[in-house]
Amino acid sequence: MAQMRAARFDGYGAPEVLYEGRVPRPEAGPDQILVRVHASTVNGGELMLRSGRLSPLTGRRFPKGIGIDFAGEVAAVGAEVSGLAVGDRVWGFVGRTGGSATAEYVAVRPDRVSHSPEGLDSVEAVSLTAGGTTGITALRDKAQVKPGDRVLVRGASGGVGSVVVQLAKAMGTHVTALAGARNLDFVLGLGTDEVFDYATTGPEELARLERFDAIIDIVATDLPAYRRLLTPDGRLVAVSIGSFASLSRLLWATVTRSRRMGFFSGNPTTALFSDLAGYAERGEVRPVVDTVHELAEIADAHRALEAGGVRGKHVIRLI
């Protein structure tokens, strides 16, 4: 059986558990496509997976792969698949049960991909996937923002936040952002209307401003204090789990179907990727790449993301 390179780990732990291994290359089933992956990224959820914080869900069968998003080209098409052909440039998501995207090849269902944006190479394209699909879902579908709304984005400089602020501006909103001190000018350059150092500007200081119609919270800590910054019809949408206390509150908000606060776990499909491609091709969002790593440097990429202060995405290049 043909082999391929892939990121692997044999036990939970620090970034050092990650390595470049060799595994059997997947084949496309009749309802799948095989994608030759050009680039993947490192996301916050993968840090939790690798460290073992999700072990009650992910179990203790090793070795494991890692990675959720990818950009590349179609290498094979299953007999039941239409609309895609070998050589098409695509981007997508492996799905919650799909496998590991940080590998040379991945077999996925076609409803998890779309054609990638014209004018972007694979490294640029993949830097938008997680933040872009999360941002569209959070802003458009969950918070239902409209032009003129006031939006607060917490964690605005990272791989998700840097795309969310651009999408919020593209949707015609007034964007206030929170980021680290060294990233304030960077976040202003993304188009935000105002940006504050999160270390010196907390909920008490923000309460002096006008209330927010939507808060997109990539940090997801101290949720009650930030929820008090909303307008009467405003909504806080958390896109991560910052603490056990936050998890408890978000689960309760989900159970009670709260209109004020919500959480979602992204599981994007073709329509969402196609919408994101439109924003990119119109120039309304641009890629923000912090660092490009080779596959053998996967541990370094995780270490860098954990260190914080990120500007955009850490990308793993496979070709």
> What is the token pair recorded at 293?
């790593």
**Local confidence band at 95 (pLDDT 50, 70, 90 cut-offs):** confident
Task: Return the pLDDT at 241.
Answer: 61
Contact 94, 72 (CB under 8 A): no
C-alpha distance from residue 14 to each of 34, 46, 62, 181 (Å): 31, 12, 16, 27
Q: What's the pLDDT score for residue 57?
A: 79
Domain that holds residue 228: 129-263
- Model confidence over 19-75: pLDDT tens digits? 999 999 999 999 999 999 999 999 988 998 999 988 887 899 999 999 999 999 999
SS3 230: strand
Question: What's the chain's average pLDDT?
Answer: 91
For residue 246, what pLDDT is reported?
45
What is the count of structural domains for the chain? 2
> Tell me, what's the pLDDT at 252?
44
| 248 and 202 within one domain | yes
135/248 same-domain check: yes
Among residues of the chain, what percentage have pLDDT more than 90?
A: 82
The CATH number covering residue 248 comes to 3.40.50.720
CA distance 59 to 267: 21
Same domain? 276 vs 253: no
Residues 273 and 259 in one domain: no
C-beta separation of 151 from 174 below 8 A: yes
Give the angle subtended at the CA of 135 by the CAs of 286 and 98, to the nearest 5°: 100
Band of pLDDT at residue 141, cut at 50, 70 and 90: very high
| pLDDT, tens digit (0-9, with 9 covering 90-100), for 67-94 | 999 999 999 999 999 999 999 999 999 9
Q: Summarize pLDDT for 245-273 with one digit per residue, the tens.
A: 445 554 445 544 556 666 566 789 999 99
Residue 277 corresponds to which tokens in the numbers above? 């491609």
Compute the CA torsion angle 176, 178, 182, 186 (nearest 10 deg).
-40
Q: Give the start-end residues of each E strand in 180-281.
A: 194-197, 212-217, 230-238, 261-263
Residue 155 in this model has a pLDDT that exceeds 80: yes
How do residues 222-251 score in pLDDT, each as one tens digit?
A: 888 999 999 999 999 988 664 444 455 544
Same domain, 217 and 182: yes
